[in-house]
Structure 1
């Protein structure tokens, strides 16, 4: 069985750490490169967190540091959710700095995509700054990209403003470039992430499952993106779940645009489920998830980790 080659663009982030664990230990995926972007916390911290995770997982995957700011707007972060370091709650070892490439993430992605014998799938689970810059500087990469499977956006309300989801709000101009790229896009947003829950009893099982489960348990204890008692939302893992088990999701092919100028809705994903805008479909949007099957899938995949 051939493994699907992917590049993960990420901003760890506690739920990013969980998504990375699943992707790195799944035999169906070939993680060629991990790139980092300013998001949940600043670029230096998310890069350091990525390298710490790779040391913990004992994985030798090249890492390239990307954009430290959004294209236009001022940076925002989610340290109020993920802690000051972005991964508070677990005592990681110091990382292997040799995995960090000297080149910028955009150049590293360009090289990996153009040199690949198979089309690459991009998996952005943070703000879309790096991907937007890649498309503007190197539009030729689109010919060798199979699809983009991203975590971000919402068909309804937001989680950082009334209408905007964090990853899109963090760099809405970049998101608009990506959704206008003409490439196949799968959007796994808030709608499904809010139903992809890990409950307290699951967390207790994770604690004694293996080293990764224990690490995740302790991160969850610090994670304030959801209630530990009512269930923690596995947003970023939904993008990886779609790659591996798309039948977990109900999807709709539709048109998505990004609001850039409105006072109250900047960064909102305009998901035209009713076809009011009369535009050609540009995304496959996940609108529902089989929550019970997702939880089963999630637990099975954490069992595969170290």
Structure 2
């Protein structure tokens, strides 16, 4: 069976670490070919996202794969970091190793996006779990990128009236770099106008991903099933994430958006979604960063997105996290 090549564009980040470990496990199980990883500045600065990604790959005993440094920040505004959410270095309470035998790929993240898409025309699945800054650069570098990909899955935005987590209307990944997210929307709109066969990206917003809740009990089950340097580091990182969510009134738990999105990318038949035309507000005083979805065709524009609304799996996102947890326990 041919394995689906996958590129992950991430900004680790605690829930990105879970997504990385899950995708390494899927690679080890022969389900996918983890073809590359792009590190984009997001939860922390670019140096930390690179260092964290390499460290998590080491802990997961990942295969050798190209890891590239992507965009160092947003297109138009200063980069806002989130030490209160993910810790000062993006790994919560985990102490990640400072050394690695992995070499950073000499290509930048945009170039890696383009070259992997060209190497797997019509085959590569791209997953974005951080800001879209590197992907926006990649589309500028290769306008044909939407036609080259098999699919694109984005953790970003919020839809159907669900509140934002950064402003009342904006989700953090999009709010960091709205111009980049909107460029991605426009690129897929232009591609689908020219060729309706181009697959519309799947946008996974807070309306779905906030239902992916990791609890201390799940961490205990993870350690009980597999007590390794990887799982101990993940549990330490998640403990910080629990503390953050408790500090903002959500309870001692963690909404882990990114592993849910990674799972959805590998299980497209399990996604409940609806077509829409999506643009990102970049100018409004009160609405900057808002993902504006036309689900009724009122603009008369081609649908350039699918909005994920649910999971076809008994137990929903909670069952997805059970599968993610089980996959991680297979890593030595």
Is the 1:191–1:288 contact (alpha carbons within 8 Å) kept by the matching residues of 2? no
**Offset of residue 225 of structure 1:** 5.1
Shifted more, 82-91 versus 138-147: the winner is: 138-147
Equivalent position of 2:192 in the other structure: none
Q: How many Å separate the matches in 1 of 2:39 and 2:318?
A: 31
Give SS of 1:9's match. strand
Q: How many Å separate the matches in 1 of 2:85 and 2:114?
A: 32
**Offset of residue 230 of structure 1:** 4.5
**Offset of residue 295 of structure 1:** 3.2
Q: How many Å separate the matches in 2 of 1:131 and 1:185?
A: 13
Give SS of 1:278's match. coil
Q: How many Å separate the matches in 2 of 1:66 and 1:291?
A: 30
Residue 213, structure 1, aligned to residue 231, structure 2: yes
Equivalent position of 1:157 in the other structure: 163
Residue 44, structure 1, aligned to residue 47, structure 2: yes
Q: How many Å separate the matches in 2 of 1:230 and 1:288?
A: 24
**Offset of residue 250 of structure 1:** 2.4
Shifted more, 1-10 versus 284-293: the winner is: 284-293
Q: How many Å separate the matches in 1 of 2:205 and 2:114?
A: 26
TM-score of the aligned structures, taking structure 2 as reference length: 0.86
1:120 to 121, 124, 128: 124
**Offset of residue 73 of structure 1:** 1.3
Is the 1:256–1:283 contact (alpha carbons within 8 Å) kept by the matching residues of 2? yes
Give SS of 2:144's match. helix
Residue 245, structure 1, aligned to residue 267, structure 2: yes
**Offset of residue 194 of structure 1:** 0.9
Residues 295 and 98 of structure 1: is their aligned pair in 2 closer, same or farther, counting only changes over 3 Å?
closer
Shifted more, 281-290 versus 126-135: the winner is: 281-290
Q: How many Å separate the matches in 2 of 1:192 and 1:100?
A: 34
Give SS of 2:326's match. helix
Equivalent position of 1:202 in the other structure: 218
Residue 22, structure 1, aligned to residue 22, structure 2: yes
**Offset of residue 300 of structure 1:** 2.2
1:55-134 alignment, distance < 5 Å: 55-59=58-62, 60-96=64-100, 98-116=102-120, 119-134=123-138
**Offset of residue 199 of structure 1:** 2.1
Q: How many Å separate the matches in 2 of 1:131 and 1:225?
A: 29
2:57 to 54, 75, 80: 54
Is the 2:276–2:305 contact (alpha carbons within 8 Å) kept by the matching residues of 1? yes
**Offset of residue 302 of structure 1:** 2.2
Q: How many Å separate the matches in 2 of 1:265 and 1:254?
A: 19
Is the 2:122–2:147 contact (alpha carbons within 8 Å) kept by the matching residues of 1? no
Is the 1:207–1:215 contact (alpha carbons within 8 Å) kept by the matching residues of 2? no
**Offset of residue 68 of structure 1:** 0.7
Residue 4, structure 1, aligned to residue 7, structure 2: no
Give SS of 2:261's match. helix
Residue 272, structure 1, aligned to residue 294, structure 2: yes
Segments of structure 1 that go 5 or more residues without pairing to the other structure are none
1:256 to 278, 281, 288: 278
Is the 1:5–1:119 contact (alpha carbons within 8 Å) kept by the matching residues of 2? yes
TM-score of the aligned structures, taking structure 1 as reference length: 0.93
**Offset of residue 142 of structure 1:** 3.2
Q: How many Å separate the matches in 2 of 1:280 and 1:140?
A: 18
Is the 2:39–2:70 contact (alpha carbons within 8 Å) kept by the matching residues of 1? yes
**Offset of residue 232 of structure 1:** 1.6
